[in-house]
Structure 1
Amino acid sequence: PAAFAALCAEFGATGPAVRSLYDDVVRRYGEDGRFYHTLVHVADVLATLDRLTPDALPVQALPAIPLCLAAWLHDVVYDPRAADNEARSAAYAVEALGALGAGAALTEEVARLILCTQTHVAADAAAQLLLDADLAVLGGETAVYDAYARAIRREYAHVPDAAYRLGRAQVLRRFLARPRIFQTDGMWRERETAARANLARELAALTPPAPA
């Protein structure tokens, strides 16, 4: 809670309302049925942002507050059966941060960054940082990636196996078809090759071999 409180204090929010928001965020990330989209993922995104930002942007240009708030709140609404999780998370951020006294410029920027996680397409440096941090697991070590893939499958336990294999394979192919999975140069150099190997390995496991 100290890190979240310190972040909110940056835009002037203090007191019990901040703790109430933190408690609600923790409750949401701890909902039944979440196995990957948890506070562990949030912590990983924040840690990756912390590591990336000094090299990616001049310090004076770094929109650190909205970036970190977006990292905290980008999956605060998560229902694997729904198609509007990002929009609902963005709306949650606008309402919750506004209630703490955050200005419109800040809440709108946080919402914009969260919405970028729906398509994982970014036109500006701040969004590129968030998206690369969000996708860092794709370029993780084999065991880390495989644990992630298993956790995603558990979140979609309601989907029959054949349908899951088909849908997941489509997602993997879309990422593999991109010229770059990671948009910042640092993450591209560090994780692009591993990410493509991980995605291709999972895709091969999901796709039955062609008949001889």
Structure 2
Amino acid sequence: MNLKDKYNELLTNTGFAANEIHHNWLDLEKAYSKKSRHYHNLTHLQDMISEYETYFDQLQFPNEVLYSIFYHDYIYISSKKDNELKSAEYAIKILPKETNLNSKLVFDMICATQLHQHNEVEDINWLIDFDLKILARDWDDYKIYFEQIRKEYRIYPDFLYKPGRAKALQHFLENEFIFQTDEFRKLYEKKARANIEKEIKLLS
């Protein structure tokens, strides 16, 4: 099922009217297809949904997780620090009055993708791990990822960007774990740490 069909099915099942679904999809597609988005785009959503489908049976709130995937980077401006909050606010604002989605949970899920810290709600941990799976790709794919991120921050010269990026990456290494679920830690923790350490060396 392609991205649009998955989106249509989700919104149909959660109380949106057909005309709203069409309008909202066009808005979403436009937001994630902006020229400034080299990584935080529709491909990123597709990758996350692939993980979502793999681990669907582990989720208690699959509709909330999927809706959060679609909207977690709806607003993305590299010079701003409140993208997740703004995205969460927007995602809640467009919910129909009669919806079976837990709006507070959606809000918390999207906001949690900013700091990527362990949460007592296990579905939030799954969402965070789907978002960070890119860190454990093979090096060639990981290199494409960090080059795409650099393009999104191209307004910053190297002397500003490199220390900032290194600091953000170092923060991941200083945490006890990068990934929040036992499954992802077992499969991907070691690879993600190796990739991050290698990128930090390139930045210095």
Q: Structures share a fold, TM > 0.5?
A: yes
2:172 paired residue among 151, 170, 175: 175
Moved more, 105-114 or 83-92: 105-114
Within 1, Cα distance between the matches of 2:109 and 2:8? 21
Measure the CA separation in 1 of the matches of 2:30 and 2:190.
Answer: 36
1:87 equivalent among 85, 88, 110: 85
Instruction: Name the structure 2 match of 1:68.
Output: 66
Out of 135, 156, 159, the position equivalent to 1:159 is 156
SS of the aligned residue for 2:23 comes to helix
Structure 1, 147-156 or 114-123: larger mean CA deviation: 114-123
TM-score of the superposition, structure 2-length normalised? 0.94
Give the whole-Å Cα distance in 2 for the aligned partners of 1:17 and 1:90: 18
User: 1:147 and 1:97 mapped to 2: Cα distance?
Assistant: 35
Q: How many residues align?
A: 200
CA RMSD of aligned residues (A): 1.3
- Residue segments in structure 2 that go unaligned for 5+ positions in a row: none
Distance 2:30 2:118 in 1: 29
- For residue 196 of structure 2, what is the aligned residue in structure 1? 199
What's the counterpart of residue 113 of structure 1? 109
The 8 Å contact of residues 138 and 198 in structure 1, kept in 2 or not, is answered as: yes
Q: When the two structures are superposed, what TM-score results if normalisation uses the length of structure 1?
A: 0.91
Instruction: Look up the SS of the partner of 1:97 in the other structure.
Output: coil
Cα drift, residue 47 of structure 1: 0.8
**Aligned to 2:139, which of 142, 151, 157?**
142
- Which structure 1 segments of 5+ residues have no match? 208-212
Q: Could you tell me whether the CA contact under 8 Å between 2:49 and 2:69 is conserved in 1?
A: yes
Identity among equivalent pairs (%): 29
Give the distance between the partners of 2:99 and 2:193, measured in 1 at CA.
40
